[in-house]
Amino acid sequence: MEEKEIQYNGSVFKRLFSYLRPYVREMIVSLLLVLAITGFELLRPILIGNAIDVYIEGYNTPYGVVEKSDLYFEGNYLSKDLSESKTFTQLVMVKDSYYYFEDLTQEESERLYAQSQKGIDVNYVTNDMLVLDDLIGRKMNQEQLSVLRKNDFMGILKIGILYLIVLVLNMIATFVQTMILQKTGQKIIFTIREELFHHVHSLPLRYFDTHPVGRIVTRITNDVESLHEMYANILIRLFRNSIKILGLAVVMLSMDVKLALYSFIMLPIIGVLTYVFKTLSRKIHRKIRTKISALNTFLSENISGMRLIQIFANEDMKYHEFMDKSLDLYRANIQQLTVFAIFRPMIYFLSQVALAIVLYTGGKGVLDTTITIGILYVFINYIANFFEPIQDLAEQFSTLQNAFASAEKIFTVLDEKNTILEKANPTILDEIKGKIEFRNVWFAYENDDYVLKDVSFVIHPGEKVAFVGATGAGKSSILNLIGRYYDIQKGQILIDDVDIQDLSISQLRAAIGQMQQDVFIFTGDIENNITLSNEMIDEETVKTCAHMVNADHFIEQLPNQYHETVSERGSSLSAGQRQLLSFARTLAFDPKILVMDEATANIDTETEHLIQDALETLMKGRTTIMVAHRLSTIQHADNIIVMHKGRIREMGTHQELLQKEGIYKKLYELQLYA
C-alpha cells in the first residue's frame, strides 16, 4: 500500500529563504562576484570580435595621414583614427597579395573601402599593381607588410594579454564565490539538520507511534542533504543565469537590433516548454521523495526485524515486497528522466535553429557590409551562451523542485506540534519525594477509546506498588502517564501533591528511573551505555552501580571490561546482560521513583535471584512501581493493584488479595498450577 504523507501548504521558498538571513553579507558578496563573473563572460567574445574587426581584418581598413603617431610608414605618420585626416592611405587584399594605395582623398578612400568590402576581381591586377579606375595600388612585400601592420600585431598582443587577465580574474572570482557558497550552504544544512533533530527529540511518543522510523531518518538525512545543492549552487546560479541572459540581450541589442531580434525568435516556444517542464518536474519530484521515504521505511523495519524474518523463512515474501517498492521508485525516476530527456534536446534543437537564423541573417549582413565579421562572431558566440543559461535554468528548476519537495517533507515534520507542553513558569520542587496520586484519570491513545477509565490510587513515598492484570488492562499506560509521555483526557495526576502538568518536565522525568523489558543498547561501550554520556557520572559511580545490580560479574570478564565495545542494540550481549546494564544505567541516575515494566521477564532464574537481592536494598527510600505477569516477583509489594479492562478491580497485599477470592487469586492459581 502506498505511503500517505501530509502535504505542506505554506510558502516553501519564503521559509527556505529565512535560513539565509544570518548570511546576508556572504550572499551580497556572492551576488557581486556573480556580476563580475558575468561581466567577464560577456567581455571575452567582445575582445575577440574587436581583435577580428580592428586588427585581424585590418587589411581593407583605411589609414589617415596625421602629423604624429606611433605608426610611421614610407614618409607618413598613419592612424586608424580618420576624424582629423584629410589625406588617406589604404591596404587592400586580393587573394594572397596586398596592395597599398596612398594620397587618397576622403571620397576616394570611401569608394575604395566600399569596393574592397564587396570583393575585388583579380582581373584588375597588372604588373604588380592593382588598378581600380583612376586609383593605383602597388604590391607590397612581406617586410613592408610587417612594418605597416606592426601596430596590428601589438594590438592583437594587447588583446591577448587582456583576455588572459580576464580569464584569471574570472577564475579567481569563481573560486572565491564557490568557497563562500559551499561554506554557507554547509552551515545552513548543519543548522537545519540540528534544528530537525532537536525538534524530533521534543515530539511526544504519540508521534513515533504513528510515524515509521525509516521516514523520520529520511527526513533528517536524504531530504536535508538535497537542500545543500540549492543553497550552495542553485539560488546563485539562478541569479547568475538570469543576469547573464539579461546582459547578453542588452549587449546584443546595442550591437545590432535586427540581428538580436532574429536571435530571440525562439524565446516564446522555449518559455512554454520551460513552464511545462517545471510543472511536470515538481509533481514527479514529490512522488520520488515519497517513494524514497517508503523504501527507507521498509528497509528500516525489515533490517531491524531480520531475525524474525529468517525464523519464519519469510525472505522470499519480503524480497518481493522490496522489489515492488524499488520498482515504484524506479518508475518514478524513469518518469523524471523521460521528461528531462525530452526537454533538453528540444532546447538544444531550438538553440541551433536560432543559430542557423543568425548565421543566415548575419552572413547576408557581412556580404552587404552592414555588419562586420567581428560582430557576427560575437553574435554566434552569444547565441550559444544565450540558450545555455536558459537550458541551465530549466535544469536548475528541476533540482530546485527536488529541493522544494524535500523541504516540504522537512517542514511538515518541523510543524508537528508537541502536545506535551510545559507551562511558561513551571513549578520547580526543592526535592521530589516520590508521592504519586491518580485522581479519576481517564486516558485514551485515540479519540474516545479509553484504556484507563476513572482510575484513582495513591502511592506514598518509599512504597513498593505492583500492577497486575491481563494484557491490555492498562498497566503500562499508567507507567507512561507518570512520566508524562502522554497527557490524560480527564482527571489529575499528582507528584508530591502537585499536578504533573504544572511541574517541569525535565525535573519530573529526571526523578523517574525506568527499567523496561525491551532494553535498548546504544552503539558504543559499556560505560557509555550506563552513563548515556552524562559527564556528571564518574567511573567510580558506574562501577558501584554495576556492582549493586551484579552486572560487574559479566562486565569484568570482558576483554576491555567497562570499555568493551558493544554493537547496535547490544546484539553481542545476552538478554539477561542487557537487562543488568539497564539496571545499572537507571541506578547511576539515582532516581526517586523506580518504574519496572516487566523488567525481569527476560532474566533467567539464577540471575533474577541476584537482581531481587540487589533490588531489595535499592528500593529502600524510593517509590517503586512494578508491572509484572510473573506474580512470584511482586509478592513482596506493599500494595498490589489489579487492573481489568482499564479499571481498578482489586487492591491490597498479596495475602489480602488471595483471601478475596477474586481476579488476583485466579491469576495466581493459573500460574501456580501451570
Domain boundaries defined on the chain: 12-51+155-414, 433-511+626-674
User: What whole-number distance in Å separates Cα of residue 26 and Cα of residue 239?
Assistant: 15
Angle between helix axes 373-414 and 24-50 (nearest 10 degrees) is 160
- pLDDT tens for 211-248 read 777 778 878 877 888 787 777 777 777 777 778 888 88
Q: Following DSSP, what letter does each residue of 438-468 receive, concatenated?
A: EEEEEEESSTT-EEEEEEEEEE-TT-EEEEE
8 A C-beta contact, residue 45 and residue 376:
no
What was the pLDDT predicted at 389? Answer: 78
Distance set, CA 413 to CA 202, 208, 212 (Å): 11, 12, 13
What's the start-to-end Cα distance of the chain, in Å?
42
Q: Does domain 12-51+155-414 have CATH number 3.40.50.20?
A: no
What was the pLDDT predicted at 1? Answer: 39
Are 12-51+155-414 and 433-511+626-674 the same fold in CATH? no
**Which stretches of the chain score pLDDT less than 50?**
1-4
Q: What CATH number was assigned to the domain covering residues 433-511+626-674?
A: 3.40.50.300
What was the pLDDT predicted at 26? Answer: 85
Element (H, E) at 307: helix 306-311
Could you tell me the pTM of the whole model?
Answer: 0.66
Long-range CB pairs of 140-145 (<8 Å, 24+ gap) are 140/91, 140/98, 140/99, 140/100, 144/74, 144/100, 145/98
Residue type, 11: S
- pLDDT tens for 74-132 read 888 888 778 778 888 888 888 778 888 888 888 888 888 877 777 777 677 777 888 88
Strands 129-132 and 125-126: antiparallel
What was the pLDDT predicted at 9? Answer: 59
Distance set, CA 559 to CA 471, 526, 563 (Å): 41, 12, 9
